């Protein structure tokens, strides 16, 4: 364990961010910054991954009812800090009390001190008390638990457990500039370890910032989950093809496509700010393509009438397969969101089908583990689209990739357009 004089700053910063998420705002809007940013991120993400647990404990100990939002969030973050084992217990309690002043909640110091000390005294009894509460023990909302159990009856517990873990860090080696085995040697020279996974992937033994990766600025590698790396390989690419990445930002899958084959690529994204991030990534990797900000479902705003041989439709979804990377999703999603996502996904499929060439291939992808966004959407599309034929994935790959220690959760479906 270690003590940290800056823990109060980190707890205050994390509490601000978690309080904003609790009020319905995305973690992307939280602006985690300043001294101790890495500690803030650890506290914030760790707290949000323990969605139900810290709430249940705080509620059990807060006999006067819920405190002000930032104080409530501070208690959650401090409970995670105590559970993490990274700090001495007395340090967490002391620094959480100090953080009240940084949050302009001086009057809450006694409350925070009392709740945390009660937790340390009553920890074993509290564990028994909350064990029967599924939201607390499985650390997901009840509707989420029920949906995963329904869709994956044999693996639902493993799926939920994966959503509470730290994600793996996987690299994709740029085959135009390096080879995986040679890059492993570069990692070793820099004191880092990893292992090969797939044709171009390297799974790191421990996560590091991108700036520390050898050759990152020179475009030797990119950070990309191994599941996401399947998209380009499943498209059966060949030189000269016209290829569309319809929901491309931030551009990782588009870049992989260009690394694998000399194709004519168009990368679209509906969000102009996100679309603007694509070209700089291409430049770092030594790649080029047509990049546009456009809604792929509104063809008249971007399509020139020439069909595409390959279409990648990595559609907007709940993100339930990548929740460990974006733990605020568990706070922000609602069961009612799934039908809305399914409608948007159906509209994108209907539009992109029109731009696909005869005998062309369209790969439908989500980073969701929910059937409502995956098989249900594909089945409905095939029922209303007589020309659509479902293809077996290359090498017998599975459609559903559930999150595990090596990759996030994804769904893949490959369609071809018949006569």
**Farthest CA pair distance, the chain:** 73
Q: What angle do CA 282, 284, 286 make, to 5 degrees?
A: 65
* β-pairing verdict for 194-197 and 400-401: unpaired
Q: What angle do CA 237, 243, 245 make, to 5 degrees?
A: 110
How far apart CA 351 and CA 258 sit, in angstroms, is 24
Q: Is 231 among the catalytic positions? A: no
- Decide if 182 contacts 175 (C-beta within 8 A): no
Question: 151: buried, middle or exposed (CB in 10 Å: 19+, 13-18, 0-12)?
Answer: buried
Catalytic annotation, pick one of 296, 367, 391, 404: 367
Residues 6+ apart with CB under 8 A from 146: none
The values of phi and psi at residue 216, to 5°, are: -65, -50
Residues 6+ apart with CB under 8 A from 58: 72, 75, 76, 79, 115
Residues that are catalytic? 367
């Amino acid at each position: 364990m270690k003590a940290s004089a800056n823990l109060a700053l980190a707890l205050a910063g994390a509490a601000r961010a978690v309080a904003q998420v609790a009020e319905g705002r995305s973690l992307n809007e939280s602006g985690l910054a300043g001294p101790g940013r890495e500690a803030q991120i650890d506290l914030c993400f760790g707290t949000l991954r323990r969605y139900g647990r810290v709430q249940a404990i705080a509620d059990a100990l807060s006999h006067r009812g819920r405190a002000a939002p930032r104080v409530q969030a501070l208690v959650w973050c401090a409970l995670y800090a105590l559970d993490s084992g990274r700090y001495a217990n007395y340090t967490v309690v002391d620094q959480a009390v100090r953080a009240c002043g940084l949050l302009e909640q001086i009057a809450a110091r006694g409350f925070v001190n009392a709740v945390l000390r009660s937790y340390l005294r009553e920890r074993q009894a509290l564990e028994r008390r909350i064990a029967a509460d599924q939201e607390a023990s499985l650390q997901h909302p009840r509707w989420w638990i029920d949906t995963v159990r329904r869709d994956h009856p044999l693996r639902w517990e493993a799926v939920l457990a994966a959503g509470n873990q730290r994600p793996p860090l996987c690299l994709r080696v740029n085959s135009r500039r390096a080879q995986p085995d040679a890059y492993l040697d570069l990692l070793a020279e820099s004191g880092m370890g990893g292992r090969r996974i797939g044709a171009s992937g390297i799974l790191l033994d421990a996560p590091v910032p991108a700036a520390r990766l050898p050759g990152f600025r020179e475009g030797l590698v990119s950070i990309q989950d191994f599941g996401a790396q399947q998209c380009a390989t499943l498209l059966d690419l060949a030189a000269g093809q016209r290829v569309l990445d319809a929901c491309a930002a931030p551009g990782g899958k588009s870049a992989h496509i260009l690394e694998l084959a000399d194709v004519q690529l168009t990368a679209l994204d509906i969000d102009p700010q996100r679309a603007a991030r694509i070209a700089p990534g291409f430049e770092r990797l030594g790649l080029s393509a047509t990049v546009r900000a456009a809604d792929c479902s509104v063809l008249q705003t971007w399509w020139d009438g020439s069909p595409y041989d390959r279409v990648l439709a990595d559609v907007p979804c709940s993100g339930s397969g990548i929740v460990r990377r974006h733990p605020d999703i568990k706070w922000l999603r609602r069961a009612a969101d799934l039908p809305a996502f399914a409608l948007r996904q159906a509209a994108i499929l209907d539009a992109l089908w029109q731009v696909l060439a005869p005998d062309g291939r369209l790969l439908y992808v989500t980073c969701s583990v929910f059937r409502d966004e995956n098989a249900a959407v594909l089945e409905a599309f095939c029922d209303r689209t007589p020309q659509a034929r479902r293809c077996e994935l290359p090498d017998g790959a599975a459609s559903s990739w559930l999150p595990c220690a090596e990759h996030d959760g994804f769904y893949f479906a490959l369609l071809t357009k018949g006569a």
